[in-house]
C-alpha cells in the first residue's frame, strides 16, 4: 500500500531545511547502507548524529505527530529518527529492499522496518531525474512530489532512485515499525478508517458510524502489537 501524504512540512519549514542543508557538511550515503545496498547506493547524507540532522529530525517528527493521514496509514509504534540525503548530478540508488531491522544510536534499540517513507524537500522542477520508483504486484510506480509532500510504502518493496541529471534532489527518509506488522491488515484498517471519515463528513448522524468505528477498533485490538 502506497499512500501520498501532502504538506507534511509547510513551505516555511522546507525553506528552513534548505538553509540548514546549505550550511551542513555532507558525507557518503553508504554510512547507513547494508552490505548489499552499499553496492547500489550513490548519494550524500547528513551524519545521523550531527546537530543539523538532529534539529531537522525533531522538526519532521513533530510534524508527523500532528498529521492524521500519516497516523492512519502507518499506525506507528516506533519511528526511526528521520535521516536526510542529497542526490547530485549522476547520483542514484539502484534496486534494493530495505533492511528488515535497523539500529539507531539515538534510539539505542532495534526497530523492525514495516513502512518506508520519503519526504521530498526539493521542488520537482529544480532537478531532473531522481524519481523514486517502487515496485509492487501492480507494476512500477514513479514518485516525484512537491517539496513538503511524502510517500509511504511497504519496506518489503523493491525500489530504486533514478539518476539525477540536473540539479540536486534533497529528501528526508526513515522507517516505521507499525503496530500492525501485516501489510494487508494495515491496508484494510486504513481503508476502513478513510471510509468512516468520509461517512462522518457526508452523514454525521448516521447510526452506522458507531458500528463501523467499533469494528475498526476491535480489528485493531485483535491485530495490534504494542
Residues whose CB falls within 8 Å of the CB of residue 54, separated by 6 or more in sequence, listed in order: 81, 106
Is 169 annotated among the ligand-binding residues? yes
Q: Which helix (H) or strand (E) holds 35?
A: helix 35-38
Handedness of CA 55, 77, 152, 210 (dihedral sign): negative
Is 202 annotated among the ligand-binding residues? no
Is 96 annotated among the ligand-binding residues? yes
CA 39, CA 36: separation in Å to the nearest integer?
A: 6
Cell of 191: 481503508
User: Partners of 41 in the beta sheet?
Assistant: 93
Is 18 annotated among the ligand-binding residues? no
Q: Which residues are annotated as a binding site?
A: 96, 98, 159, 169
Q: Which residues are annotated as a binding site for 2-oxoglutarate?
A: 169
Q: Which residues are annotated as a binding site for Fe cation?
A: 96, 98, 159
Amino acid at each position: 500500500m502506497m499512500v501520498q501524504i501532502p504538506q507534511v512540512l509547510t513551505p516555511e519549514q522546507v525553506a528552513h531545511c534548505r538553509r540548514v542543508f546549505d550550511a551542513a557538511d555532507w558525507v557518503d550515503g553508504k554510512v547507513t547502507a547494508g552490505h548489499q545496498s552499499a553496492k547500489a547506493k550513490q548519494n550524500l547524507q547528513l551524519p545521523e548524529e550531527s546537530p543539523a540532522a538532529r534539529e531537522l529530525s525533531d522538526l519532521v517528527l513533530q510534524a508527523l505527530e500532528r498529521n492524521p493521514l500519516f497516523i492512519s496509514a502507518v499506525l506507528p509504534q516506533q519511528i526511526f529518527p528521520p535521516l536526510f540525503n542529497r542526490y547530485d548530478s549522476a547520483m542514484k540508488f539502484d534496486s534494493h529492499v530495505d533492511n528488515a531491522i535497523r539500529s539507531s544510536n539515538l534510539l539505542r534499540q532495534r526497530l523492525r522496518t514495516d513502512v518506508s517513507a520519503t519526504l521530498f524537500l526539493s521542488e520537482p522542477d529544480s532537478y531532473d531525474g531522481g524519481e523514486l520508483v517502487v515496485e509492487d504486484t501492480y507494476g512500477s510506480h514513479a514518485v516525484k512530489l512537491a517539496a513538503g509532500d511524502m510517500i509511504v510504502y511497504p519496506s518489503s518493496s523493491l525500489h530504486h532512485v533514478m539518476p539525477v541529471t540536473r540539479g540536486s534532489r534533497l529528501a528526508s527518509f526513515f522507517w516505521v515499525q507499525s503496530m500492525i506488522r501485516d501489510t494487508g491488515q494495515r491496508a484494510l484498517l486504513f481503508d476502513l478508517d478513510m471510509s468512516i471519515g468520509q461517512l462522518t463528513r457526508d452523514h454525521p448522524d448516521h447510526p452506522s458510524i458507531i458500528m463501523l468505528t467499533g469494528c475498526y477498533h476491535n480489528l485493531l485490538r485483535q491485530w495490534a502489537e504494542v
